[in-house]
Structure 1
Amino acid sequence: MTPFLKEHGSLLRTGIISLIFSGLILAWITALNVSVLGVDILRQSFFPFLMSIGEVNISNFIQRLDVIAVMMLIIGVFFKASIFYAASAVAVYRLFHMTSFRKAILLVGTIIFLSALVISPNSSHHLQEGLISDQWIIYLPFEITIPVLLGGWVWLRNKFNRERST
């Protein structure tokens, strides 16, 4: 399976538990946002969590928790991007049998940097592109085409390795 797992049998159980746990957290946050803001404001808001946090007022003492919410969002995005970056570098390193992990990190980082420059130069352009054209330009290749091609490549490589060993 993978050398990063100590117990191979726990992979499916851990994945299902994490999906259920994160789904429950997202459902709870969404229900909280609906109860605080209402459906109409929730649909129009770009960051409903930030608007919900702005409504906190405990005895006119604990207020303005916006800074904490923004810091949580920034830290969350940083960790999410770091995990995706590291996973991509490990995948490239292992899939292409590279000699150095540093080269894989540099290659993936360069691809991410150049694609970020090409896709959108600023935040408003990013939002416009994401709503209009990126659904076909980005999502189709990155969520369907590339995983299918890589899965086929791994399957063929494993098939040829098994045939050579027998």
Structure 2
Amino acid sequence: MREQISLWQYFVLMTAFTIGTTIIVGAGQEAKQDLWIAEIFAISTGVLLFLFYNFISRMAGGRGLYDIIDFALGKNIGKLIAYSYLLYFSYLALRVLRDFCELIVTTILPKTPIEIISIFMTIIIAYVLFHGLEVFARTTEIFIPYFLALIIGLGVLLLFTGVLDFKKMLPIFSEGFAPILEAVYPTMIVFPYGELVAFLVIIGSTTNFKYVSKVSVGAILLSGFLITYAEMLQILALGVDIRNRANFPLLVAAREVELLEFIERVDIFIVFILLIGIFVKIGVFFYGALKGAEYVFNKPYRTFLLPFSLVLPLFSILIAENIVEHYEEGLELVPYFFHIPFQFGIPLFLFLVLFVKNRMKSQKGKGLSA
């Protein structure tokens, strides 16, 4: 029996996923105070990119990623490509898991071994995924109102605290357009908008496929707006220099809140926001990897939950010795060696194969009718 989720559940999953770790670690430092302009370009490109993914799915009859690969390339080549995506999604899941571990160790549990945090987070996500995609989506659905309210509420609190200085956004285009382009391409495109390629795994599980493109665009626009909003808060509260030096700039900005002599230390609420986003992001990547294993080995994805749950925490620790090395790898190595091939290269190849197949099928149909 195929698992299905509603369009609303798909919307909240995509919104939380896209915000995910983006508001934790940020990107686009090259743009400095023009970061909001860079984000607008990134959002626009992200919308076009996902419409391209959606078009590929439509060309394959509304199939999900692994069924598209099978439909376009057949079992033999298809399993090789699917296995590559399995590894890609697994790698992204363990990277986001490491982001979460670093966040928790830095903020609320400094004496807890990072291995323990990694193991417990994986167990929670594995438990939810064991009950299926719909349960995972419903869990996100419960938390999304608090998620959005806390992000917006932080801006209100910072405004009333009086720490927002709009002069920090000036001058606009101080160094021209080149730093903005440098920030956008490829970093701000591949992270987080290109990572939405993982939703090609889920796209075929929606209850009404014909509206998926509209719902996806709405989710990307909303999450893009909230990312831009969070980035502007960081710059207005901290300035460009502090924001670019901080490991978790949104948390540093939240610590500036001090209102009526008792509203302070609201950074714990920001940790809650980030926890939800990270939970969804790891879960989507984890599910994408499990469905890849299901396709490659022809066994139900739940069969692989236990081995994957043992491997992910281990490798989330082994990928980097410290947070600096982890971020350097994420900004310098991952975009070019991982994101670009899987977000652009393979989808483009699938598009070309499907285009040729559909064209040949159309010409064959015309020949038979003649």
Structure 1 length-normalised TM: 0.71
Aligned match of 2:261: 60
By how many angstroms is 1:115 displaced? 4.9
Question: What's the secondary structure of 1:96's corresponding residue?
Answer: helix
Structure 1 residues 16 and 98: alpha-carbon distance in aligned structure 2, compared to 1, 3 A threshold: same
The one-letter code matched in structure 1 to 2:261 is N
Separation (CA, whole Å) in 1 of partners of 2:292 and 2:262:
49
Separation (CA, whole Å) in 2 of partners of 1:118 and 1:137:
19
Paired residue for 1:69, among 258, 263, 270?
270
Separation (CA, whole Å) in 2 of partners of 1:117 and 1:45:
22
Q: Are residues 1:24 and 2:225 paired?
A: yes
Compute the RMSD of aligned alpha carbons: 3.6
Aligned match of 2:325: 125
Count of aligned pairs:
159
Separation (CA, whole Å) in 1 of partners of 2:338 and 2:315:
10
By how many angstroms is 1:124 displaced? 3.9
By how many angstroms is 1:127 displaced? 2.7
Which whole-Å deviations, capped at 9, do the CAs of 1:74-95 have from their partners, x for residues lacking one? Answer: 33212210122113322442x4
In the TM superposition, 1:72-83 aligns within 5 A as 72-83=273-284
In the TM superposition, 1:101-112 aligns within 5 A as 101-106=301-306, 109=309, 112=312
Question: What's the secondary structure of 1:78's corresponding residue?
Answer: helix
* Greater relative contact order (Cα < 8 A, sep 6+): 2
Which whole-Å deviations, capped at 9, do the CAs of 1:72-125 have from their partners, x for residues lacking one? Answer: 2233212210122113322442x4371322234456556645653553244343
Which whole-Å deviations, capped at 9, do the CAs of 1:50-77 have from their partners, x for residues lacking one? Answer: 0111011111110111222223223321
Which region of structure 1 is more displaced relative to structure 2, 9-18 or 78-87?
78-87
Question: What's the secondary structure of 2:209's corresponding residue?
Answer: coil
Question: What's the secondary structure of 2:247's corresponding residue?
Answer: coil
By how many angstroms is 1:30 displaced? 1.4
Question: What's the secondary structure of 2:264's corresponding residue?
Answer: coil
Aligned match of 2:161: none
Separation (CA, whole Å) in 2 of partners of 1:56 and 1:21:
25
Structure 1 residues 116 and 141: alpha-carbon distance in aligned structure 2, compared to 1, 3 A threshold: farther
Q: Are residues 1:35 and 2:236 paired?
A: yes
Q: Which runs of 5+ in 1 are unaligned?
A: none
Question: What's the secondary structure of 2:259's corresponding residue?
Answer: coil
Q: Are residues 1:90 and 2:279 paired?
A: no
Question: What's the secondary structure of 1:19's corresponding residue?
Answer: helix
Question: What's the secondary structure of 1:38's corresponding residue?
Answer: helix
Separation (CA, whole Å) in 1 of partners of 2:333 and 2:342:
14
Separation (CA, whole Å) in 2 of partners of 1:50 and 1:83:
25
Structure 1 residues 133 and 101: alpha-carbon distance in aligned structure 2, compared to 1, 3 A threshold: closer
The one-letter code matched in structure 2 to 1:103 is T
Which region of structure 1 is more displaced relative to structure 2, 16-25 or 69-78?
69-78
Paired residue for 1:13, among 214, 219, 242?
214
By how many angstroms is 1:37 displaced? 1.4
Separation (CA, whole Å) in 2 of partners of 1:110 and 1:147:
30
Which region of structure 1 is more displaced relative to structure 2, 118-127 or 20-29?
118-127
By how many angstroms is 1:15 displaced? 0.7
Percent of counterpart pairs with the same letter? 25
Separation (CA, whole Å) in 2 of partners of 1:69 and 1:117:
24
